[in-house]
Structure 1
Amino acid sequence: MTTNDLMELLRRHLPEIRASLTATQFARFQDSVRRLGEVGDDGRAMRLALREVRLCLLPLPRENELRRRLDQFRSAGAAPAAVLPDADQLDELIRLLESVDWPTLDPASAEIARGVRRRLLTAPARGPEELTGAAAQDPARAGLIRLTDPELGDRYPDFQFDPDTGEPHPVVQRINRLLLSDQDPWGAADWWLAGNSWLRDTPAALVGRVPDALLTEAAAALVGDGRW
C-alpha cells in the first residue's frame, strides 16, 4: 500500500474511523493528519508523521477490516519519493476533516450517518469515466455532487445529468452550489434524493417536470437564502 493509497483509504472511511474512536482519540487523529500537511517535501519528517497517524488509529478494533488494511501500510525503509503523498489528495483529506464537526459526532449519530450514506449510494450513479465535457475536466467546478463508495470509488448521482445529452442540468448545478455540495456532498445528495414535504415528492424526480424556479426556491428556503 502506497502513501496515496493510505490517504484515499482514510478519506473514504472517516465516518467509520470517527465511530470507532472517542472524541479525544479522534481529535488526536485530526491533529496528526494536519501535521502531514506541514512537513513539506521532507521525506524523513513525512515518515514520522505517517507513523503518528497510524499510532492514532491503533484503538480501532483489531478485527476491523480498515484496521487490517492499515496494518498493511509500512513506510519504514521507503524512499522519500515513495513516501510523499499527492498534495491534492492530502489537501482533500484535510479539507474533509475540517468541514465537519467530527469530534462531536457521537457513535450513534455516526451509525445514522452511515445508514444515510448506504441509502444514497444505492441511487443510480455514474463513475468519473462516464462524465463528458467540462464536467469531466473539473466535476467540482461544474457543481456536481461527488459521493465516494468504499468499493466503487467516486460516484456522481444520475439525476444531475440530462439523459439525452449527458450534460449536467443547469438547475441542479445552481442548487448544488446553493447547498454547498462541495463541502457537504452527502447532505446535498440527501436533499435531492429524500422526500420533500414542500414539493410533495423527491426533488431529483422533479427535475425537468416542474419549473426550475420552484426547485430553487425550495432549496433556498432550506438554507435561508433568498438570493436565488
Structure 2
Amino acid sequence: MTPGEDSGTGVLDLVDEHLDDIRARLTDEQYQLLLTRLRALAGTPPDDPRAVVRAFQAVRLCLVSLPFDHPVREVLDSVRLAGTASVSAPVVLRTQDLLARLTAGPPRPPDTAAIIAAAERRLLHAPALSAAEVRTRYRGSAPPPELIRFADAELGDRYPEFQFKPGGGAPYGVVLEVNRVLLADADPWGAADWWLSGNAWLGGGPPAALLGIRPDRELVGAAVALVEGD
C-alpha cells in the first residue's frame, strides 16, 4: 500500500471488512480501547493534520496485538503514518462512516470507561518510580519530557521503572528515542502498552524485557515499523 489517500483510509477499510474477526481476536478490554480510539479519531478536526496523525497512531497501537499474518496487521505494517497528514479529511470521514455502521449494529458490550480504567490499572501495576525518586536522579531538575509519565490521582505522578537503567541510573537512551517515535508525551498509556506487551517484531516478548539484551536499533526499528511502516 502506498502513502497518501490509500494508506489511512485503506487500513480503516480493512478494519471494517474484518471487524468480526478482529472482535474475536481481541479481548474485551482491547476491543473497547479500539472503539474509544476510533471515536477520538472520528472527532478530530480534519483540518488539523498533526492531531489526525496522533489519533490515527493511537488506533494503530490498538491493532498491533493482532497476529502478524492477519490481513489488517499486514497492511498496518506497510503504511507510513506520515501519509495521513495530507489526507486528514478522508481519514476522519472514513472513521465516522465506520463508527456509524458499528453503532447501527447490535449493542456493544459494557462500560467503555470502566474497561479503559482497567487497562490503565494494569499498566499502573508495573513497577514504577515516584516523581520524587525521578527528580532525585536528576538532582532536582525536571526529567526529560520523553519519559512515560502516568498521572495517578492517588499515588501522584508515576514513571514506569523499565525506562531506567538498574542501580539508580538514568533512562536508557533507546527508551527516550522510542518514546519520541511513539509520541509518549501525547499518549503515555499507548506507549507503555507497546513496551509492556508482546511484540511479534521482537520474537513475541515485551520490548521492555529486551532492554540491554537486544541491540537498540532493533527496538527502535520495531517502533518505527509500527509508526511509519518502513
TM-score, length-normalised on structure 1?
0.49
Q: Which has the larger radius of gyration?
A: 1
Higher relative contact order (CA 8 A, sep 6+): 2
